[in-house]
Chain A
Amino acid sequence: MENIAGHKPALRWVVNISVIVLVLMWVIPTTGLLVSSFRDRDQISYTGWWKAPFQQEQNQIFRSQPPDTQFEADGEFILEGNIFEGEEGKVLAFGTSSRDPTRYQPNDIGEMSKSRTMVVDNDGNYRIASPEPHSGNRGVRIFATTSQPPKMTLENYAKVIFSEGLGQSFLNTFSVTIPATVIPILIAAFAAYALAWMEFPGKYILIACVVGLLVVPLQLTFIPLLRLHNTLGIGKEYLGIWLAHTGFGLPLAIYLLRNYIAGLPKEIIESARVDGATDFDIFRKIILQLSFPALASFAIFQFLWVWNDLLVATVFLGNNEDQLVMTGRLRELLGSRGGDWEILATSAFVSIAVPILVFFLLQKYLVRGLLAGSVKGG
């Protein structure tokens, strides 16, 4: 196909640019979240994430030092300080009331009630003077349009992992995922071998059943299984969800592995049989090693599916600290911290970091698995 595009430079440009546009459309959403997860909380809510690397111009409200820091000079009571409190920044305009927050240029004298005056300079130093002593225990509000350098921080990550409970949920997700990935593989591999290389009545009906079960909607299974689990006493236990994920994952596992194992060279298996090996020996010594790529494909599928699952976990696990998985936590945060994007973005990123890592490292096997059995729907 190279030759079609290769001969015409104009066409090659069109193709390249189209792909760039397509890739951007697919990458930008995730990028927005990734960038936001490193931004300062205030800056997220004042400017869009695409402005993150630039100087941040924003309207902010500050408070001066409290009245107990005032001092007297030339018969006036003075409050002094810097609105940036040690951080870098420039003041572009300031105001004394919320009705007109950008009324004064830096170094202008702003008028306030009770004959007070306020001056803010370029660097954020302010001086509020009053003929009477300042009263109350809170500082005076200062409205300012500021320009600050972009602030990038890891604080959000520390916050969600340690105080929003995402660290615990990470462990919970791990506890669900690993057994639910490992257990089905062995069970499926034996069944797949039997369906591929052994002769027995009803074999084709069984294969048809496996293909049929691939698409059974999980919704259908929840109420009966939950009742069953409750009767058995594993209604909200890890054991219950491991078994459930194993059961749900088996059709795909058997289907993928059977296709692969059935395609292995006949000679190998037959010569082993002639040498007197039982099927158990053949499976153990030959099949398991040869079908490693298929086993890896399924393992990745199952891992991603279980790690990312919200539905099964909501049904078969509880909501307490020891059981809430990351997807469940994310759903909860969406409800309770709806507008706090620094929390949501960071939590989402923590929860998708592992699958993305697995994806990029093991993409080869994932693609191979997809090509071998593209009938699974979850």
Chain B
Amino acid sequence: MEQVLFALGTILIGVTGCIAYFYFSNLVLDIIFPNKGANAGRNINLTLAIRPWLFMGPAIVLLSVYLVYPVVNSIWLALHDSNAQQFVGLDNFFWLVGDSKFQESLRNNLLWLIVVPAASTAFGLIAAALTDRIKWGKLAQSLIFMPMAISFIGAAVIWKFIYDFRGEGVPEIGLLNALVNYFGGEPTAWITLSPGNNFLLMIVLIWIQTGFAMVILSAALKGIPEETIEAAVIDGATPLQIFFRIMVPQIMGTIAVVWTTITILVLKVFDIVLAMTNGQWGTQVLANLMFDWMFRGNDSGRASTVALVIMILVIPIMIWNIRNAKKEMS
């Protein structure tokens, strides 16, 4: 209880502090440069120039400390040894290229990058197209969207239960093995079988992300002008033709946004792998490898190097996003 009170106290102090900062800094500005009197014109111009920086001050400081500085510092760390004492040049990168766990992680990450965004977007598109046409579509969307609210680790527990394996002579309580049993197969500890186990982990993320894709794509589908569809109907197009030739091409931009958003998430996938296999049985991924070197390996050089690789993979999307944002603004 004590720390909840502490938390509430902090909110109060934090919020009051924020308000006080913004209020008093603006007040001080208005007192130093009053917009009347002898120098009114010059003062107004000065306040107009200074005020934006008062507004953005805290945000700029926090962004610099918590996001910009770490990126720069990581590059420095990657060029140093495990305790950040000795400059080692590109040694960490050479080690990385030769490391078998890194190769495995990179391979798996590429697999994730292909399968998860593709499957989530495809399922999302199907779900969006179908639920738009039925009366209880809103409810169906809600239910498919719901896993989005579940933590990755919670989802990992849910799916670990499905993949559970009990062993011979004991009734299977995991859904997957019960089904395998029902259809006459041999129950197996599927999660330990490489490379198939990678797909079992991917299913978890697809399950979470499909709802996101569906919500965005459903909105895009609703934005398609009715005339284009009506024209196709009059021309005698079948529903499938309408969907693939008329509707999908018109929402290509949105599909790309959904795809890249999920791609970024996939690059950072961590909790699911940590909770379900911890990178064993050939399922290691970059984010978990980084975590391994940070906490178990205690090697800031190698951990930073792995993190930089993730950053490098994200950069193309970063540039694409910035370009899009620029286009929207102009």
Chain A contacts to B: CB under 8 angstroms: 1-5, 11-12, 15-16, 18-19, 22-23, 26-30, 32-33, 36, 44-50, 171-172, 174-176, 178-179, 182-183, 186-188, 190-191, 193-195, 198-200, 203-204, 206-225, 227-228, 238-239, 242-244, 246-248, 250-251, 254, 278-280, 283, 304, 307-311, 322, 327, 330-331, 334, 341, 344-345, 347-348, 351-352, 355-356, 358-360, 363, 367, 370-371, 374-378
Contact B318 A212 (CB under 8 A): yes
Instruction: Known A19-B131, A224-B69; judge A4-B229 contact (CB<8 A).
Output: yes
* Given contact pairs A32-B162, A198-B55, a sample of 14 additional A-B residue pairs in the complex whose CB atoms are under 8 Å apart: A5-B133, A23-B144, A175-B4, A190-B56, A194-B56, A195-B56, A199-B52, A206-B60, A215-B264, A224-B69, A309-B151, A322-B3, A360-B146, A375-B260
Contact A224 B74 (CB under 8 A): yes
Contact B158 A32 (CB under 8 A): yes
Q: How far is the CA of A352 from the CA of B306 in the complex (A)?
A: 31
Instruction: Known A30-B146, A211-B321; judge A374-B261 contact (CB<8 A).
Output: yes
Stretch touching chain A among B88-96, B98-106, B194-202, B208-216: B208-216
Contact A182 B14 (CB under 8 A): yes
Measured between C-beta atoms, what is the minimum distance from B233 to chain A in Å? 7
Select which of A331, A341, A348, A377 is within 8 A of B268 by beta carbon: A377
Q: How far is the CA of A208 from the CA of B318 in the complex (A)?
A: 10
Q: 1/0 per residue B123-161: CB within 8 Å of A?
A: 100110011111011001011111111111110111111
Instruction: Known A27-B143, A194-B52; judge A179-B14 contact (CB<8 A).
Output: yes
Taking CB atoms, residues of chain B closer than 8 Å to A367 are 215, 219
Select which of A175, A190, A327 is within 8 A of B7 by beta carbon: A175
Contact B55 A331 (CB under 8 A): no
B287 sits at the interface (CB 8 A) = yes
Q: How far is the CA of A89 from the CA of B73 in the complex (A)?
A: 67
Measured between C-beta atoms, what is the minimum distance from A248 to chain B in Å? 6
Q: How far is the CA of A45 from the CA of B8 in the complex (A)?
A: 42
Contact B178 A48 (CB under 8 A): yes
B310 sits at the interface (CB 8 A) = yes
Select which of B55, B59, B137, B171 is within 8 A of A46 by beta carbon: B171
Contact B157 A344 (CB under 8 A): yes
Measured between C-beta atoms, what is the minimum distance from B275 to chain A in Å? 6
Contact A172 B62 (CB under 8 A): no
Instruction: Known A208-B322, A211-B322; judge A238-B67 contact (CB<8 A).
Output: no
Contact A11 B131 (CB under 8 A): no
Contact A377 B207 (CB under 8 A): no
The A interface is mostly helix, strand or loop, or mixed, namely helix
Contact B261 A377 (CB under 8 A): yes
Chain B contacts to A: CB under 8 angstroms: 1, 3-4, 6-8, 10-11, 14-15, 18-19, 22-23, 26, 30, 47-49, 51-53, 55-56, 58-60, 62-63, 65-71, 73-74, 77, 84, 123, 126-127, 130-134, 136-137, 140, 142-154, 156-162, 164, 171-175, 178, 207, 210-212, 215-216, 219, 221, 229, 233, 239, 242, 257-258, 260-261, 263-265, 267-268, 270-271, 274-275, 287, 290-291, 294, 300, 303-304, 306-308, 310-311, 314, 317-318, 321-322, 325-326, 329
Contact A44 B173 (CB under 8 A): yes
Q: How far is the CA of A211 from the CA of B212 in the complex (A)?
A: 20
Contact A224 B73 (CB under 8 A): yes
Q: A-B pairs with the 7 shortest C-beta distances? A: A247-B66, A377-B264, A308-B151, A359-B149, A191-B59, A221-B70, A224-B73
Q: How far is the CA of A363 from the CA of B138 in the complex (A)?
A: 11
Measured between C-beta atoms, what is the minimum distance from A173 to chain B in Å? 10
Contact B219 A371 (CB under 8 A): yes
Taking CB atoms, residues of chain B closer than 8 Å to A28 are 175
Q: How far is the CA of A25 from the CA of B193 in the complex (A)?
A: 24
Q: How far is the CA of A220 from the CA of B171 in the complex (A)?
A: 45
Contact A279 B158 (CB under 8 A): no
Measured between C-beta atoms, what is the minimum distance from A353 to chain B in Å? 10
Contact A200 B53 (CB under 8 A): yes
Taking CB atoms, residues of chain B closer than 8 Å to A33 are 157-158, 161
Taking CB atoms, residues of chain B closer than 8 Å to A238 are 3, 6-7, 10
Contact A308 B150 (CB under 8 A): yes
**Nearest A-chain residue to B144, judged by Cβ:** A26
**Nearest A-chain residue to B268, judged by Cβ:** A217
Contact B126 A22 (CB under 8 A): yes
**Nearest B-chain residue to A350, judged by Cβ:** B154
Instruction: Known A4-B133, A187-B59, A374-B216; judge A178-B8 contact (CB<8 A).
Output: yes
Taking CB atoms, residues of chain A closer than 8 Å to B265 are 377-378
Contact A187 B62 (CB under 8 A): yes
**Nearest A-chain residue to B308, judged by Cβ:** A220
Measured between C-beta atoms, what is the minimum distance from A158 to chain B in Å? 19
Contact B300 A223 (CB under 8 A): yes
Taking CB atoms, residues of chain A closer than 8 Å to B164 are 341
Q: How far is the CA of A9 from the CA of B230 in the complex (A)?
A: 19
Taking CB atoms, residues of chain B closer than 8 Å to A207 are 325, 329
Contact A370 B215 (CB under 8 A): yes
Q: How far is the CA of A16 from the CA of B162 in the complex (A)?
A: 26
Contact A375 B257 (CB under 8 A): yes
